[in-house]
Chains A and B, each alone.
Chain A
Amino acid sequence: NAGVTQTPKFQVLKTGQSMTLQCAQDMNHNSMYWYRQDPGMGLRLIYYSASEGTTDKGEVPNGYNVSRLNKREFSLRLESAAPSQTSVYFCASSHLAGSKETQYFGPGTRLLVL
């Protein structure tokens, strides 16, 4: 099992460009999450999907959109990238939504917006 995979690993964008970060899990988990991690800020939740067909905003959703394509895949889209979106993006999944669930994280996508 690969667990949670993310593509790409690194990306450089110019301000105003768009891109989609891909995430897939092979653990048959119902819930998936997108976080961003900035130096000295810890992880902040962008969006999550409690189950296939549902998505909800997290703490910092502005400037992002998500799609729960199917049970395995949860993508994060930046429509018009800004330098403030330079960060490391982590996708995670859990069997069910809920605070007692263990989350499994992908290796991250490092994004630089110039």
Chain B
Amino acid sequence: SQQGEEDPQALSIQEGENATMNCSYKTSINNLQWYRQNSGRGLVHLILIRSNEREKHSGRLRVTLDTSKKSSSLLITASRAADTASYFCAPSGDSGYALNFGKGTSLLVTP
């Protein structure tokens, strides 16, 4: 399994603004997952996008995938203080049973 690299490492915005974080990876993938981790808690699955999909929505979340650039982005629209968390991507290829997580993007949303 390969590991994704999230960028930026930290992001600070105000409530109501949009937050965009990016994930890059090195080899071809079958799918890519995004997870959120609130402080002191376990990770929570947000969304999975398959390699043949370019964009996917879930509520205020929008994920894009560009396999030619080996990158994905997670957009959170109209951010709320409750969105404050770390966000991790997990790209996956054909092989491997488990996911590898990068260091994540730490998002701070201030009122």
Contact = CB atoms under 8 A, between A and B. Distances in A.
Interface stretch (B12-20, B52-60, B100-108): B100-108
Nearest to A99: B92
A43 B30 contact: no
A99 B41 contact: no
B22 to A, nearest CB: 15
A74 interface: no
Interface stretch (B42-50, B67-75, B76-84): B42-50
B86 to A, nearest CB: 9
Contacts of A90: 42-43
A42 B97 contact: no
Nearest to B2: A99
B93 A105 contact: no
Contacts of B98: 33, 45, 48, 58, 97, 99
Given A42-B88, A42-B102, A50-B97, A102 B31 contact: no
Interface residues of B, number: 27
A99 B101 contact: no
A53 interface: no
A43 B101 contact: yes
Nearest to B95: A99
Given A50-B97, A100-B92, A106 B42 contact: yes
Given A99-B1, A100-B48, A100-B92, A31 B97 contact: yes
Contacts of A107: 41-42
Contacts of A106: 42
Interface of A: 4, 31, 33, 35, 40-43, 45, 48, 50, 56, 58-59, 90, 92, 97-100, 102-108
7 contacts: A31-B97, A33-B98, A45-B100, A99-B1, A104-B45, A107-B42, A108-B40
Given A99-B90, A105-B43, 19 more contacts: A41-B103, A42-B3, A42-B101, A42-B102, A43-B101, A45-B98, A45-B100, A48-B97, A97-B97, A99-B97, A99-B98, A99-B99, A103-B35, A103-B43, A103-B99, A105-B42, A105-B44, A108-B40, A108-B41
